[in-house]
Structure formats: structure tokens, C-alpha cells
Amino acid sequence: MSKDKGQVIQALKFVAFSISAGVIQIGSFAILEIFIKDYWIPYLISLILSIIRNFTLNRRFTFKSAANVPIAMAKVFGFYLVFTPLSTYLGNLAENHGGKDFVILIVTMLANFILEYLFCKFVVYRGQENTRSD
């Protein structure tokens, strides 16, 4: 398989797994929004559920990495140490200025999708892709 074709397949897998994680995030957010009216609490809980799903599937199937799981997870955790407070603050700010919760969530999820792919590709799994033997 050519390198370009492999890159396209990898990106498509990341998209597919991100969509599945997004469904989990939107579903859990919708359920939590029924009971908790502050934007940030449902957002954080649904984001954590999405992160766990996305990390697990992408490590194994998208990047096929045998990278040390605690180290890879620590790198992803570092990403979210920056992304989560920033997106939570900006989302809460947008909500307080009349933004609709689900519009804010979708914009945030799109930003997360793009930034997380780039971070995983060039930081978390750099030099460790396709090292997993099944």
C-alpha cells in the first residue's frame, strides 16, 4: 500500500472513531443537560467519556501503536490540560452571551477533532505508528 493511501485510510479511521466518540459525547451531554443546567458540568463529563473512547480505539486501530500506554495517555492528558480549560471557559462565556448549548458543543467538538488528530499524529504517536502486532 502506498504511503499516501495509508495516510488517507488512517485519516478516515480517525474520522470514523471520532464520530462514534462524538455520538457518545452528544448523547451523554443531552442526557446530562436535562438534569444539570450549567453548560460546563455536562460538557466536562461528556468530554471525558469521549476522550476515553477515542484514545482507546485510535491507539489500537488508527495508529496501530505499541507505544507505552501510560506515556501515550500522559501526552493526551497534557493536550487536554490545555484544551479542556480553554474550551470550557470559552463555551461557558459563549453560553453566558446567548450562545446555544448545542451550537457551542458542535463548534468545540470540531476544534477538538482537528487539534487532537494533529496532536496524536505528530506528538503522541510520532515514530510509533504501525508498531502494534496483532
Quote the pLDDT of residue 1. 64
Q: 132, 60 in Cβ contact below 8 A? A: yes
Quote the pLDDT of residue 101. 87
Q: d(Cα 85, Cα 91) in Å, to the nearest integer? A: 10
Q: 29, 93 in Cβ contact below 8 A? A: no
Query: What amino acid occupies position 38?
Result: D
pLDDT tens for the chain, 134 residues long, are 677 788 899 999 999 999 999 999 999 999 999 999 888 899 899 989 999 999 999 999 999 888 888 999 999 999 999 999 999 999 999 999 999 988 998 999 899 999 999 999 999 999 888 888 76
30 backbone φψ class: left, alpha, beta (φ>0; ψ -120 to 50): alpha
Say whether pTM exceeds 0.75.
Answer: yes
Q: What is the 3-state secondary structure (H, E, C) of 37-98?
A: CCCHHHHHHHHHHHHHHHHHHHHHHHCCCCCCHHHHHHHHHHHHHHHHHHHHHHHHHHHHCC
The residue ranges of every structural domain in the chain are 3-124
